[in-house]
Amino acid sequence: MAIESTAKSTPPTIEEIRAECSRVFGVRACLWQAQFTEAILKRDTDVVLNVGTGMGKTLAFWLPLLFKKDGIQIVVTALNILGKQNVDSLKRAGISAVDINSENATAQNFRDIADGVHCIVVVSPEQLMKPGGEFEKLFKNPTFASRIVSVIFDEAHCISQWGTFRPEYKEIERLRYILPKDTLIAVASATFSDKILSDIKHTLHLRKDRLTYITRSNDRPNVQIVVRKIQHAMDSFRDLDFLIPAGWMAGDAEPPKFLIFFDNRLETVRAGRYLHNCLPSEYRDKIVWLISDMSKEFKEQQVEKLKKGELWGLCATDSFGMVSVR
């Protein structure tokens, strides 16, 4: 099912955007979400969206489609798990979307995309930037290209930060030369620093005189930055003891949910094993580590378990850092 759209010859007003959002999604759009939609539909600038985690960036991505009959949004996401979460939430709302990654980049899926079966295409940078790949062919198809509403980079700070171990992020600078000339690009994140944003502008060839900035504070009252002095040898992991109360036993209150990040896979596994030893053996499966050579299905299962409270904690590398666990 596609998003039911209201076609207009002129860009909608803020109130019209809010009314359509309420009608289709059952919620009133925030002012910045409506402003983002307005900027996309005006089509005269690229867009920088800088708002806090959990404020509703992904809803803003879908809103322009309410006013573009047969339009297609392309969303570039860093993580397969994140792409799947987006597609699953859209499907629950009855909206046709597809997540393209190395495991499902099939000829049939690309035929469906070209035929307009899906109004939202979530794609990994590897698939998007594959030289001579299917997306390059789609962008050269005038019919398909005319339907693109915008190309949105979710968690766009990865363009600057992940290029060393995700080379395709460096290849993204070719995108402007592959896309039709008038294609609008939007970049979204909660963690744009001046340097990161400068890198992104350079990589995507975003012109200063053709940019709309939509910015809200990323301060979250339920999030605090706390610095603890390391008291023990780093490889002992004893500074993680505060996560599991000493002497924890069955029947005690469950530890608060936690997520720990490490620089490499070996430390991730060793920390997980250390925390296992802080628990009775029958509760050790409440803490899991996630590393790159684990299957996609296993990772997705653990994310769902953490969200539901079936797991107490995860040890992971920073590639896990943008997945919603709420």
**For residues 257 and 222, is the Cβ–Cβ distance under 8 A?**
no
User: What rounded mean pLDDT belongs to the chain?
Assistant: 88
Is the pLDDT at 301 greater than 60? The verdict is: yes
The CATH number assigned to the domain with range 14-215 reads 3.40.50.300
Is the pLDDT at 12 greater than 80? The verdict is: yes
pLDDT tens, position by position, 255-291: 999 999 998 899 999 999 999 999 999 999 999 999 8
pLDDT band at 305, cuts 50/70/90?
Answer: very high
Is the pLDDT at 143 greater than 60? The verdict is: yes
Q: Which of the residue ranges 3-17, 110-124, 130-144, 208-222 would you say has the lowest mean pLDDT? A: 3-17
pLDDT band at 82, cuts 50/70/90?
Answer: low
Is the pLDDT at 87 greater than 90? The verdict is: no
pLDDT band at 160, cuts 50/70/90?
Answer: confident
**Rounded Cα distance, 202 and 220, in Å:** 30
**What is the residue whose two structure tokens read 């930037």?**
129
Domain ranges of the chain: 14-215, 234-320
Examine domains 14-215 and 234-320 and report if their fold is the same.
Answer: yes
What's the pLDDT score for residue 319?
A: 60
153 Cβ neighbours under 8 A, 6+ residues apart:
76, 159, 185, 186, 187, 188, 200, 204
pTM, two decimals, is 0.80
What's the pLDDT score for residue 9?
A: 67
Provide DSSP, 91-157: HHTT--EEEE-TTT--HHHHHHHHTT--SEEEE-HHHHT-TT-HHHHHHT-HHHHHHEEEEEETTTT
pLDDT band at 292, cuts 50/70/90?
Answer: confident
Is the pLDDT at 320 greater than 70? The verdict is: no
Is 3.40.50.300 the CATH number for 234-320?
Answer: yes
**For residues 98 and 121, is the Cβ–Cβ distance under 8 A?**
yes
